[in-house]
Amino acid sequence: MAILVIAEHSNAALGAATLNTVTAAKAIGGDVHVLVAGAGCAAAAEAAAKIDGVAKVLVADDAAYAHQLPENVAPLVAEQGKSYSHVLAPATTTGKNLLPRVAALLDTDQISEIIAVESADTFKRPIYAGNAIATVQSSAAIKVITVRGTGFDAAAAEGGSAAIENIAAGADAGISSFVGEELAKSDRPDLTSARVVVSGGRGMGNGDNFEMLYKLADKLGAAVGASRAAVDAGFVPNDLQVGQTGKIVAPDLYIAVGISGAIQHLAGMSGSKVIVAINKDEDAPIFQVADYGLVADLFEVVPQLDAAL
């Protein structure tokens, strides 16, 4: 039995979520192979070969895979996947876009966003915004699974020396093309793997006020997150949204500022080790999950906190 992990990468570098997915693969048991489909992706492939516990890296290097268009990548993954017992991808937007298309090509059900491996065919996953945890067993010949990063520790990025094997690329499906992207540029740590996250909600009032949180975050070496309401209102871009339908984070410290604590928000951050809530409404639901609550006007206490650090 061997397990195929689909790498998350930018051609030039391997995405951190790949490491958590490799850990999930190891928990299932069996040889772990990593597939890197990209264009000019040798650097990503070399990084994948160094991951501790990876036995082999398959590389499909072709212009058709440059932007991870699922119309082009899914047929490749499905073809390769036929030789494996499990096909795993990180539950990132790239993995979520790709893997169900692979599953349907293989005529199999997908198990989304597992947080634990019970055995080679049984997994735990949250449903209903994390209000329930389902234990799901699969009888499929090839188990197609996305992996929630916060459920598994990162595998060591160094220590392995897997063989790298080039595989033939398929044709460009010719039905989709990349037009452009606007990627957020930030020197702060990545939201999903940061040790500390400072998040702002509707209570921040406007985008300019988020400067306070950026300053605080820089002092703490933290990433900045947001509630849906803050994103919808245009205070911050969409890639900052934490929650059921945004990013899932589990830092050592999560500071929620001006966030009420709707269930959809809690779904994305209740796995944090320590939660701090700053809210002027003492009945805000966020206080029910906060280790330390400060009932106060954020415009008074955030500058104080900044000064105290």
Partner 1 sequence: MKILVAVKRVVDHNVKVRVKADNTGVELANVKMSMNPFCEIGVEEAIRLKEKGVASEVIAVSVGPSAAQEQLRTALALGADRAILVEQDGDISSLTVAKLLKALVDKEQPGLVMLGKQAIDTDNNQTGQMLGALTGYAQGTFASKVEVDGDKVNVTREIDGGLQTVALKLPAIVTTDLRLNEPRYAKLPDIMKAKKKPLDTVTPADLGVTVASTLTTLKVEAPAQRSAGIKVADVATLVEKLKNEAKVI
Ligand X SMILES: Cc1cc2nc3c(=O)[nH]c(=O)nc-3n(C[C@H](O)[C@H](O)[C@H](O)COP(=O)(O)OP(=O)(O)OC[C@H]3O[C@@H](n4cnc5c(N)ncnc54)[C@H](O)[C@@H]3O)c2cc1C
| Torsion of the alpha carbons at 161, 64, 81 and 146, rounded to the nearest 10 | 80
- Residues near ligand X (CB under 6 A) are 201-203, 227-230, 241-246, 258-260, 262, 264-265, 268, 279-281, 284, 297-299
The option from partner 1, ligand X, none interacting with 174 (CB < 5 to 8 A, set by class) reads: partner 1
Binding mask 73-112 for partner 1 (x = CB under 8 A): -x-----------------xxx-xxxxxxxxxx-xxxxxx
Q: What DSSP state is assigned to residue 242?
A: B
d(CA 253, CA 197): 6
Contact (CB, 8 A) for 51 and 22: yes
| CB of 19 or CB of 162, closer to partner 1 | 19
The option from partner 1, ligand X, none interacting with 259 (CB < 5 to 8 A, set by class) reads: ligand X
Decide if residue 164 touches partner 1 (CB under 8 A). no
Residue 134: closest CA among 126, 122, 142, 146:
126
| CB of 213 or CB of 298, closer to ligand X | 298
d(CA 309, CA 295): 19
Kindly tell me which residue out of 39, 55, 120, 289 binds partner 1, with binding defined by CB under 8 A.
289
Decide if residue 201 touches partner 1 (CB under 8 A). no
DSSP string, 16-57: THHHHHHHHHHHH-SEEEEEEEESS-HHHHHHHHTSTT--EE
| CB of 67 or CB of 215, closer to partner 1 | 67
Q: How many residues belong to the site for partner 1 (CB under 8 A)?
A: 90
Query: What minimum distance in Å lies between the beta carbon of 297 and ligand X?
Result: 4
Decide if residue 253 touches partner 1 (CB under 8 A). yes
Specify binding-site residues.
202, 227-228, 241-245, 258-265, 279
The option from ligand X, partner 1, none interacting with 201 (CB < 5 to 8 A, set by class) reads: ligand X
Kindly tell me which residue out of 174, 187, 208, 283 binds partner 1, with binding defined by CB under 8 A.
174
Give the residues across from 199 on adjacent strands.
Answer: 225, 256
Residue 22: closest CA among 105, 93, 117:
117
Mark residue 107 as left, alpha or beta (left: phi above 0; alpha: psi -120 to 50; beta: remaining).
Answer: left
The option from partner 1, ligand X, none interacting with 293 (CB < 5 to 8 A, set by class) reads: partner 1
